[in-house]
Structure formats: structure tokens, C-alpha cells
């Protein structure tokens, strides 16, 4: 059990680090997916441990939402690339105050 949780924590940390340090939007995006799946792993292992199906059901929801989010996110990235010729997130700083 704890092995799974440690794996999940490591995966989440890698994902978070990827979001924070990488500049390529696609990599950042993949890192987010990694964090989501780390959480999924934690859910599944808890479900198995506690004999409660709720955790697995929630994983399904997360998968569905993630799928939709990937579609939207990729579409945004493609559009950004078309207009700005780059996917470097440091160049996309229109919201700077």
C-alpha cells in the first residue's frame, strides 16, 4: 500500500516540478496530466485498501474531465502557436500587470 502511495507522491512531485520549471507549453501540459494520474493512482490504491468503490468511480470522473481538458488545452496551444509562432510560456505574458 505505502509503495503505491509513495509512487503516487513521487509522480505528483515530478509533475508539479515540471509545471514550475519547464518552458515548453506541451511539456507543462504533460506534467499536469502526470499530476492528475498520480492522484488517480492514489485514489485507486485507497479504494482497493479500504474496499470502497467510490475511489474508482471518482477516477473515472477524473479521466473524463481530463480527456475534455486535454482537447480544450491542446486546441488553445495550437491556436497560440498559430498566432505567436511559439509555445514558450514565458513569451505569453499578456496578463502581466
Partner 1 sequence: MDLIWLVLALPLLGSLINGLLGRHLPKRLIGWVACGSVGLAFLISLRILFDLLALSPNQRVPPQTLFDWISVSGLSTQISLLVDPLSTLMILVVTGVGFLIHVYSVGYMSHDSDYSRYFSWLNLFTFSMLVLVLADNFLLLFVGWELVGLCSYLLIGFWFTRPSAAAAAKKAFIVNRIGDFGFLIGLFLLFATFGTLDYLKIFEAAAVPHALPELTATVITLLLFAGAVGKSAQIPLYVWLPDAMEGPTPVSALIHAATMVTAGVYMVARSHDLYMLAPFSMNIVAAVGAVTALMAASIALVNNDIKRVLAYSTVSQLGYMFLAAGVGAFSAGMFHLTSHAFMKALLFLAAGSVMHALGGEETDMRKMGGLRKVIPWTWGVFLIGALAMSGIFPLVGFFSKDLILEEAFSNDYVALWLIGLFTALLTAFYMLRAYFLTFHGKPRYDEKAVHPHESPAVMLWPLRGLAALTIIGGILWISWMGFTPLNEFLSPVFAGVAEGGREHTAALSEGALIAISLLVALAGIGIAWLVYIRGFQPGEALRKTFRPFYTLLEGKYYVDELYYSVIVQPGRLLSQFLATVFDLRLLDGLVNGVGALIDRAGGALRRVESGYIRNYAAWVLLGTLGILIYWLMR
Least distance to partner 1, CB of residue 25, Å:
9
Binders of partner 1 among residues 26 to 45 (CB under 8 A) are: 28
Least distance to partner 1, CB of residue 88, Å:
11
Quick one: which of 10, 11, 8 has its CA closest to 55? 8
97 forms part of the interface with partner 1 (CB under 8 A): yes
Count other C-beta atoms under 10 Å from residue 3's C-beta.
8
- The residue with cell 499578456 is 94
Cβ closest to partner 1, residue 53 vs residue 92: 92
96 forms part of the interface with partner 1 (CB under 8 A): yes
Q: What CA–CA distance (Å, rounded) separates 79 from 61?
A: 27
Q: What CA–CA distance (Å, rounded) separates 37 from 59?
A: 9
Residues that bind partner 1 (CB under 8 A): 16, 19-21, 28, 89-90, 92-97
Amino acid at each position: 500500500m505505502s509503495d503505491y502511495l509513495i509512487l503516487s507522491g513521487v509522480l505528483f512531485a515530478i509533475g508539479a516540478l515540471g509545471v514550475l520549471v519547464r518552458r515548453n507549453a506541451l511539456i507543462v501540459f504533460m506534467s499536469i496530466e502526470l499530476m492528475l494520474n498520480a492522484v488517480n493512482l492514489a485514489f485507486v490504491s485507497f479504494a482497493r485498501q479500504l474496499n470502497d468503490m467510490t475511489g474508482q468511480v471518482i477516477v473515472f470522473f477524473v479521466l473524463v474531465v481530463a480527456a475534455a481538458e486535454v482537447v480544450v488545452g491542446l486546441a488553445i496551444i495550437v491556436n497560440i502557436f498559430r498566432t505567436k509562432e511559439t509555445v514558450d510560456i514565458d513569451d505569453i505574458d499578456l496578463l502581466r500587470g
